[in-house]
Structure 1
Amino acid sequence: MHIDAWIESVPPGAVYALVALIIGVESLGIPLPGEIALVSASLLASHGTVNPVLVGLCATLGAIVGDSIGYAIGRKGGKPLFERLGQRFPKHFGPGQLASAERSFQRWGMWAVFFGRFVALLRIFAGPLSGALRMPYWKFLIANVLGGVIWAGGTTAGVYYLGVVAEDWLKRFSWLGLILAVCLGAGSFLLMRWRASRAHPAGPDPDPEGGAEAEPVAAATE
């Protein structure tokens, strides 16, 4: 079962905790579909099943707390931690992925933590790698909080309002179809009437036997 279908099957009261848990565990450095969970919960909110504000708050809390715990783990375990993780999760923590993430963090510093929240690979690495590279915690915390708030809040709001608009549009689709059909029918009728008037202009029809032209000729001969 996919994560989105699984969330839809969960009781509404447990959706908030589930979103916070999945995003928090992902932020620890464990590859889980946190973004899919957030999008699925936001869509449920657009249907009125859950509260979008609580979804955004839980997602933000999970992101900030998870990243902070991941930072502490990375600071204690250092780079050997990533070597062990690379053996267990080669697709996510392989040497190539680790080298790419490390270059980004060394070049951009705390901005890598902020923008890393919006990139799947860096979202997993952000906390543990920041700790392993000994980034000052206050810098990490600022970038972590800002990234978590904007990512979680922005994603929730965007998906929620998109879902509301889409649902409203689908509800009105039958009326839109009816109005469109009436407009097309009226337009086709007017077009055919206009073309008919151009093909047969109004006025007296000429005499098919030429009688209308005979009288002027006779008068001219007299």
Structure 2
Amino acid sequence: MNVEHWLVSVPPILVYVLAGGVVGLESIGIPLPGEIVLVTAALLASRHELDVSPHGVALAAVVGAVVGDSIGYAVGRRYGDRLFGFLGRRFPDHVNDDLLAYARHLFSRYGMVAVFFGRFVALLRIFAGPLSGSLQMAYPRFLVANVCGAIAWAGGTTYLVYYVGTAAESWLKGFSFVGLGIAVVVGITASTVLRRRVQRNVEAYAAARRAAEGV
């Protein structure tokens, strides 16, 4: 079975469940490629031979993001540092003291704004719920920022990718699903560049913090 035939045969409900599930688990605090899965699902929706709806993808991702963040908030509020210690042991490449300190700085200083814009940055997205809970942010305020951020990020990404994919479909007809692969690679590259930029900010903040503490 070739890749194209397999993709055409994928049940739409599986695409929605996968998109919502991965985004939801990432929002709880588990480092997963939510952005890549969302972009791939939106690109599948842009293929007219598939029965995947962009509205279904967007709705699943928004619900997954809101529910996942709310669970992360509840866990962070109840367990706090114990949760981050567990995540650090299980995912040392993604969760460490420097990144947590930088994220705490952002969420403590900017509150709802950090929750909203943190949704657009992979390294911060996994901390939005748990950190907001551990910092005792009022849940109604968190929920408003969470829902708005989820709609802007998940809905905006889905429809942007969908319409770009639809517009480009005529150019990619001769390449079948090669266009899908190219788009995913571009998405991964862009995400990597943004992640490295945030990582530099984390390193600069950590260096400044250690200098101030005389370490």
**Normalised by the shorter chain, which TM-score bucket?**
0.7 to 0.9
Displacement after TM superposition at 1:8 (Å)? 7.6
Instruction: Write out aligned runs for 1:110-189 (5 A).
Output: 110-171=112-173
Structure 1 residues 125-144: Cα deviation after superposition (integer angstroms, max 9, x where no partner): 00011001101001100000
Q: CA RMSD in A?
A: 1.9
Are the structure 2 counterparts of residues 111 and 158 from structure 1 closer, same or farther at C-alpha, using a change threshold of 3 Å? same
Displacement of 1:91 in angstroms is 1.4
Residues 1:149 and 1:8: Cα distance change in structure 2 (over 3 Å): farther
Give, in angstroms, the shift of residue 169 of structure 1.
3.0
Deviation at 1:9, TM superposition (A): 7.3
Distance in 2 between residues matched to 1:9 and 1:128, nearest whole Å:
37
Counterparts of 1:29 and 1:7, CA distance in 2: 29
Percent identity among equivalent residues? 62
Query: Structure 1 residue aligned with 2:53, among 51, 54, 72?
Result: 51
TM-score by length of 2: 0.74
Q: Which residue of 2 aligns with 1:12?
A: 12
Provide, for residues 65-102 of structure 1, a one-character-per-residue CA deviation record: whole Å limited to 9, x for no partner: 00000000000101222122212211111101111111
TM-score by length of structure 1 reads 0.72
56-65 or 81-90: bigger deviation: 81-90
Quote the residue 1:90 is aligned against.
92
Distance 1:7 1:158 in 2: 21
Q: Which residue of 2 aligns with 1:29?
A: 29
Task: Give the total of aligned pairs.
Answer: 168
Structure 1 CA distance for aligned equivalents of residues 98 and 130 of structure 2: 17
Task: State the alpha-carbon separation in 2 of the partners of residues 143 and 96 from structure 1.
Answer: 25
Q: CA–CA distance in 1 between the matches of 2:104 and 2:7?
A: 34
Larger radius of gyration, structure 1 or 2? Answer: 1
Distance 2:10 2:21 in 1: 14
- Secondary structure, counterpart of 2:31 in structure 1: coil
Contact 1:15 1:41 in 2 (8 A): yes
SS of equivalent residue, structure 2 residue 137 = coil
Aligned to 1:198: none
